[in-house]
Structure 1
Amino acid sequence: MHARFSSSLLTAILLAAGAQAAASTLNQNVSWTIDRAGTATKYRVVAYGDSIYAGYNGSTTSAAKYSAPTVDAEYLSAQWNADIESVRRTKSGAVAEDVYNNKIVAERSYMQASSTRVVTFEMCGNDGLQARTAYKSQTGTCDDAVLTAAENSCKTFVTAAMDYINANAYAGVKLKVISNLHYPGYAADSAQSSCKDPNTGATVRMQDKFLPSLARINHMMCDVARQKGFMCADNFAQYMGADHDSNGDGQIDSEALRYVPGESQASYVNRITATLRSTIRDANTHFVSSSSSYDYIQSDDTHPTYTGSTVTAGLFGGTTGTGAPRYTSFSGGKNPIWNQYGHERMGWAVSVFNLPTP
């Protein structure tokens, strides 16, 4: 009898796992507190998003412990001499509308807690990935409508998310940050399309089609943020530009690629797709100097790399845990591995906006 029960239970679990794995989205929620010695004061960072903030690693049951929001929490813990709870309410595979409705709106209570001091979110990556897949599958005459629809949806829900957070987050929140999009698969997209341009009749280099679309999305994210009291962590610049001056223009590439507050869309898109195009590199090889590089993208050619252990997040629920910080102080506002992994770089990019006091 006991053996039959165990077998039935195992079958039920496997069936549930298979059903969820086949689904297009996966909730991956984690709460991890940076427990700093000598203090009992605790503040909260709330992060909403998709697989990027989730720390997705290809598993349906686990995620990176130190994804970008928790990396930022570690910086805050040192800066504020406090315990910092990193709350990640994320849904891997979710498009912007899903993140907005089912995370930001449906789970607003997390940012309404009186301990909340930072709210950050990211979205639209899956809108872009799905549009790219649809475009690549086209034959005959190329149709840009799938890219335009993704851009429009992204703008609608990024704007709605900022308005909703502004209206609903705890009044004591000191900082709101959006993270924009890196370009996963940049090198792989240096290939011709199956469809043909309606004007020239020739196939299209996919990188040339997708980069301007991504640039328009990233400009929108940062510009709407500027208008609505959010900061913008420019992950495109952080991931896709080297940390040295590769073209001799007197600027560090990752700095030169950054969005400039108030810059027009036309100016930004031209700078990314033309003026500084030669400095853009696939983030699988992010050069921190002219001779040293690190891999910011996992083997799936999409999700950021990370270091350290994982936590339960996915089919079997989410982790709520506590641990000591890996680093208790930061020279120049950077941990020793700030530029060696994708999540470390993204977490640092969010942290540069942190305020000196809570």
Structure 2
Amino acid sequence: MTLLFQAPFARRLGSRLMAAVALAALALPTSASTLNQNVSWTIDRAGTTAKYRVVAYGDSIYAGYNGSTTNAAKYAAPTVQAEYLSALWNADIESVRRTKSGAVASDVYQNKIVAERSYMQAANTRVVTFEMCGNDGLQARSNFKGQTGTCNYGVLDTAVQNCKTNVAAAMDYINANAYAGVKLKIVSNLYYPGYAADNVQSSCRSASTGATVNLRDKFLPALVKMNYWMCEYARQKGFKCADSFAEYMGADFDSNGDGLVDSNALRYQAGESEANYLTRITSTLRATLRDANTHFVSASSSFDYIQSDDTHPTFTGGTVSAGLLGGTTSSGAPRYTSFTSGKSPIWNQFGHERMGWTLSVANPPAP
């Protein structure tokens, strides 16, 4: 017997199926689940005819992930950077975000940068940027937190090595395949989500002492090593490095009296050794690190850079379709048409605004 569903029932069934699929994907970013979240948004500047492209590859950070499987932040960091470029070049800027929430570094490299290389090969491409490794770190952290018995630090070492391998490969591939007229290639390194929450003891025990270990004491050096090699490979391979770690984790004033603004002091220094960078961040300046949920822009004022999931950057400016139902391809007028001293009025008030500004510091003066 053939059963024909009436239209209202079919619609209800379809809605329930979509809801089930959406719920199944919500385990993002620390699980093995992944979700393509692609967006193309053009900053449409009045009175201009030229249009250039910024291509951004990455995971949930560049995606503008906000907990939804169907939409994402319109003004994620790469699109914020595009807004700065639009004003600098007096041109329309197309921000193309080819991203996969939940993806580890190898996935971003193989299935975004390599598989979707055509986006950076377009003749109007002027900027190529990428970020990766966050999910390698999150998955290693999740594994370590779940350990009992004797601690296995190898999962952290593996995450660092996978990050190094794929960051280097990504830079080499972009150098070999991006449009010849690209003016800027830039990588963003990692901030530390959950910095405060990780200040607890492990369930596993050290093989040498028999005692539990502080989770943050183990996770911080691994993340710092990832960040070092992102910036060092960038120096070696003709990229710029946007130091999001320094911009998120350090206050915008001198909290320790060393004569340096904390966020400036924490930045990678071109040419320094891994050992020097590791010591500087995990020891010398350790006391200046602060959880980005409370980013101090002065001694008495702070903003929250991390969403309630304690992982993804905060944002403003609304959302666009991105995910299960496809991605947005659209345009809109810039929120700001000029920038005093190269900074928007909200450059330091939201996580994505801060990261976008950090990327924009390297913007070339002309297309």
Q: TM-score, normalised by structure 2?
A: 0.96
Q: Deviation of residue 15 (structure 1)?
A: 4.3
Distance in structure 2 (CA, Å) of the matches to 1:183 and 1:18: 27
Q: Which moved more, 1:171-180 or 1:15-24?
A: 15-24
Does the C-alpha gap of structure 1 residues 199 and 311 become closer, same or farther in structure 2, counting only changes over 3 Å?
same
Secondary structure of the residue aligned to 1:317 is coil
Aligned pairs for 1:64-83 (under 5 A) are 64-83=73-92
Q: Which SS does the other structure have where 1:164 is aligned?
A: helix
Matching residue of 2:12: 7
SS in 1 for 2:197: coil
1:168 matched residue in structure 2: 177
- Contact 1:287/1:293, CA 8 A, preserved across alignment: yes
Counterparts of 1:296 and 1:352 in 2: how far apart (Å)? 19
Cα RMSD, aligned residues only: 1.1
Q: Residues of 1 paired with 2:18 and 2:354: CA distance? A: 37
Structure 1: stretches of 5+ with no match in the other structure: none
Distance 1:96 1:260 in 2: 24
Which residues in structure 2 correspond to 1:261-272 (within 5 Å)?
261-272=270-281
Q: AA paired with 2:167? A: V
Find the aligned partners of 1:355 and 1:231 in 2 and give their Cα distance: 11
Which amino acid in 1 is paired with 2:15?
L
Kindly provide the amino acid, as one letter, of the partner of residue 51 in structure 2. Answer: K
Of 226, 233, 255, the match for 1:224: 233
- Number of matched residues? 358
Aligned residue in 1 for 2:216 = 207
Of 180, 187, 191, 2:196 maps to 187
TM-superposed CA distance for 1:13, in Å, is 2.9
Moved over 2 A (4+): 1-23
Report deviation, 1:53.
0.4
CA 1:305–1:263: 2 relative to 1, 3 Å: same
Give per-residue Cα distances to partners, 1:255-302, cap 9 Å, x unaligned: 000000000000000000000000000000000001100000000000
Structure 1 residues 186 and 112: CA distance shift in structure 2, 3 A:
same
C-alpha displacement at 1:129, in angstroms?
0.4
- What residue is the counterpart of 2:160 in the other structure? 151
Give, in whole Å, the separation in 2 of the partners of 1:284 and 1:5.
44
Whether contact under 8 Å (2:26, 2:67) holds in the other structure is no
Q: 1:265-304 to 2 correspondence within 5 Å?
A: 265-304=274-313
CA contact (8 A) 1:28 1:318 kept: yes
Letter in 2 for 1:95: V
Equivalent-residue separation in structure 1 for 2:326 and 2:101 (angstroms)? 14
C-alpha distance in 2, partners of 1:269/1:132? 19
For 1:79-118, list aligned pairs within 5 A. Answer: 79-118=88-127
Whole-Å separation in 1 of the counterparts to 2:285 and 2:247 = 14
- In the alignment, structure 2 segments of 5+ residues that lack a partner are 1-5
Mapped partners of 1:172, 1:212: distance in 2: 37
Contact 1:20-1:315 within 8 A present in 2 as well: no
TM-score, normalised via structure 1 length: 0.98
Give the residue type in structure 1 aligned to 2:281: I
Residues 299-347 of structure 1: CA deviation (Å, up to 9, x unaligned): 0000000012100011111001100000000000000000000000000
